[in-house]
Structure 1
Amino acid sequence: MSTYSIKDLEQLSGIKAHTLRIWEQRYNLLSPKRTETNIRFYDDDDLKLILNVALLNDNGFKISKIASMDMGDIREEVMKLTERSLTHDDQIHALTICMIEMDEERFEKVLSTNIIKLGFEQTMLNIIYPFMSKIGVLWQTGAINPAQEHFISNLVRQKLIVAIDGQVSNGTGKKFLLFLPEGELHEISLLFASYLIKSKGHKVIYLGQSTPNEDLLSVYKVHSPEYLLTVITTSPSSEYAQDYINALADRFSQSQILVTGYQVIGQDLVFPANVKQMNYIRDIKELLEEIEQVPQEK
């Protein structure tokens, strides 16, 4: 069983800690436990409840009404909402609940419904990718545990691999070499980038997780790609990210290197001339659109 502080509940639900305390006192909505040293904490059941409460409250349910409902009624109303609501925030909230409860069937239903309504690419851009970015930060801060993060990541990964297999390159586009640094295992952004690149007719050489430098260099020599793309989420750490980027720029000086990730975005880094920071996955989409326009301008 995981334990959470009130700040963790705030991060996961979006409800201010001050508001949670008021609801706790006024409506007995939560029942915090205490450690042997008298520090308040909350458990998985408290988190599930507050996530459901937040979703209902965001959709017009008064807190006094929610407090009078039992868990069965709350869950039923949440399911009704997520099935008919098209707002991205509501869908992200629903997926967060699925993650906490490790409810694979429900996660699959939410994801499939959105793909049918919005299409795969828009579902990824507007719901899954922001959701994965959110839980990535929560994992970094310890608000969720590795098991929850792995559970969701593997489900999303399966969807992406199926979608990527459905894309066929015509052989006339650019070559992109996609990889993660040694020790880096967070693959979702890289897989989605692969999907986007292949969907535009370009060729992807996909090396995936934790690519040794020697393997990267040997594949590069064989394929001579115009672009290299990597995502730095945890490895190398922020203190070594600049050195790693500089080494990539020197080693692959004939190619454009695209970098993104938690250890890159918002950091005080200097990017060599052949390195471009991607602040968001949409930056990759915009780059692909620019590449498409180049032949038309000549």
Structure 2
Amino acid sequence: MSNYSIKDLEQLSGIKAHTLRIWEQRYNLLNPKRTDTNIRYYDDVDLKLILNVAMLNTNGIKISKIAAMSSNDISQEIIRLTDQSMDHTDQIQALTICMIEMDEDRFEKVLSTNILKLGFEETVLDVIYPFLSKIGVLWQTGAINPAQEHFISNLIRQKLIVAIDGQMGKSQGKTFMLFLPEGELHELSLLFSSYLIKKHGHKVIYLGQSTPQIDLISVYKIQQPDYLLTIITSSPTGDKVQDYVNMLGKEFSKSEIFISGLQALEQSLTIPSNIRLLTYAKEIKQVLLQMDHETV
């Protein structure tokens, strides 16, 4: 069980610490504990409650009414709101609650409902990607543990793989080779890129996580892809990122290479002429739409 300060609750819920203190004092909404040195802290139960309360309050339910509701009533109201609302913030909050509770059935229902109403692409871009960003905040504050992060990432990964399997390439399409650098394991964005590429009728050679340089070169010689795409989120880091980019530009000089990811975008890199940085998730879709236009 994790411990949270009131500032942690503020960051995770979006409710100001001052407001949380008023709710605590006026409505006995939270039940802070104290350490042996008399420092106040909150636990997982408090976090779950305040996430639910924040969602209800944002949707117009007065705090006095929420405070009088039972835990079961709050849960039922959250489910009702999630099912009816297509507001992206509400959906992200609902997914966050599912993750903290590790409620797979509810997570599947929320995600499936969004896909049905919004479509797969919009769900990924407008709900899942912001949700993954929120997971990063939760990780930094210690609000989730590795098991919770792996649990939710694997559920999303399964959805992406099913969506990819439903796409068929075209014989006249280009060939893309997708891979992550050696040591890089953050695969969700690469999987979504694979989905988009296949949806636009192109062939994907998917090498996936942690691809050694020697294997990358070997497959390239056999397949001779038109394009390469990689995402550098956590590995390599520092000066090694520039070295890696230089290697890609040199070894695969006959192909155009797309690179994205935190490590690539946060540094002032010297970019070889055959490499293009993609700065956000929707940009790969724009690249594909431009290709479609050029072939018409």
TM-score (norm 2): 0.93
Tell me which residue corresponds to 2:281.
Answer: 281
Distance 1:224 1:150, change over 3 A: same
- 1:76-108, Cα deviation, whole Å (9 max, x unpaired): 111100000011111111001100100000001
- Amino acid across the alignment from 1:64: S
- 1:3-58, Cα deviation, whole Å (9 max, x unpaired): 22333322322223333233223322222223333333221111111110111111
**In 2, distance between residues paired with 1:197 and 1:281?**
13
> What SS does the corresponding residue of 2:18 show, helix, strand or coil?
helix
Kindly state the Cα deviation for residue 269 of structure 1 after the two structures are TM-superposed: 3.3
Structure 2 contact 226–256 (Cα < 8 Å) conserved: yes
Tell me which residue corresponds to 1:176.
Answer: 176
**In 1, distance between residues paired with 2:68 and 2:43?**
21
Distance 1:155 1:34, change over 3 A: same
**In 2, distance between residues paired with 1:137 and 1:256?**
34
Distance 1:180 1:119, change over 3 A: same
Kindly state the Cα deviation for residue 238 of structure 1 after the two structures are TM-superposed: 4.2
1:164-243 equivalences in 2 (<5 Å): 164-243=164-243
Q: Does 1:84 align with 2:94?
A: no
Kindly state the Cα deviation for residue 242 of structure 1 after the two structures are TM-superposed: 2.7
1:112-131 equivalences in 2 (<5 Å): 112-131=112-131
- 1:239-270, Cα deviation, whole Å (9 max, x unpaired): 53233222222222222221222223344434
> What SS does the corresponding residue of 1:281 show, helix, strand or coil?
coil
Distance 1:42 1:238, change over 3 A: farther
Q: Does 1:51 align with 2:51?
A: yes
**In 2, distance between residues paired with 1:2 and 1:252?**
47
Taking only the aligned residue pairs, the percentage that are identical comes to 69
- Amino acid across the alignment from 2:243: D
> What SS does the corresponding residue of 2:259 show, helix, strand or coil?
strand
Kindly state the Cα deviation for residue 174 of structure 1 after the two structures are TM-superposed: 1.2
Kindly state the Cα deviation for residue 137 of structure 1 after the two structures are TM-superposed: 4.4
- Amino acid across the alignment from 1:28: N
Structure 2 contact 2–143 (Cα < 8 Å) conserved: no
Distance 1:111 1:31, change over 3 A: same
Kindly state the Cα deviation for residue 124 of structure 1 after the two structures are TM-superposed: 1.5
Structure 2 contact 180–210 (Cα < 8 Å) conserved: yes
**In 2, distance between residues paired with 1:265 and 1:71?**
44
> What SS does the corresponding residue of 2:236 show, helix, strand or coil?
coil
> What SS does the corresponding residue of 1:18 show, helix, strand or coil?
helix
Unaligned runs of 5+ in 2: none
**In 2, distance between residues paired with 1:210 and 1:188?**
13
**In 1, distance between residues paired with 2:261 and 2:11?**
20
Q: Give RMSD over aligned pairs.
A: 1.8
Kindly state the Cα deviation for residue 2 of structure 1 after the two structures are TM-superposed: 2.2
More divergent stretch after superposition (94-103 vs 130-139): 130-139
Tell me which residue corresponds to 2:22.
Answer: 22
**In 1, distance between residues paired with 2:5 and 2:239?**
29
> What SS does the corresponding residue of 2:263 show, helix, strand or coil?
coil
More divergent stretch after superposition (230-239 vs 56-65): 230-239
1:153-164 equivalences in 2 (<5 Å): 153-164=153-164
Q: Does 1:62 align with 2:62?
A: yes
Structure 2 contact 2–142 (Cα < 8 Å) conserved: no
TM-score (norm 1): 0.93
Tell me which residue corresponds to 1:11.
Answer: 11
Count matched residues. Answer: 296
Unaligned runs of 5+ in 1: none
- 1:154-203, Cα deviation, whole Å (9 max, x unpaired): 01111111111111111211111111111111111111110000000001
> What SS does the corresponding residue of 2:29 show, helix, strand or coil?
coil
Structure 2 contact 115–123 (Cα < 8 Å) conserved: yes
Kindly state the Cα deviation for residue 140 of structure 1 after the two structures are TM-superposed: 4.7
Kindly state the Cα deviation for residue 64 of structure 1 after the two structures are TM-superposed: 1.9
> What SS does the corresponding residue of 1:23 show, helix, strand or coil?
helix
- Amino acid across the alignment from 2:64: S
Distance 1:173 1:31, change over 3 A: same
- Amino acid across the alignment from 2:287: L
**In 2, distance between residues paired with 1:66 and 1:144?**
25
**In 1, distance between residues paired with 2:253 and 2:18?**
52
**In 2, distance between residues paired with 1:155 and 1:244?**
31
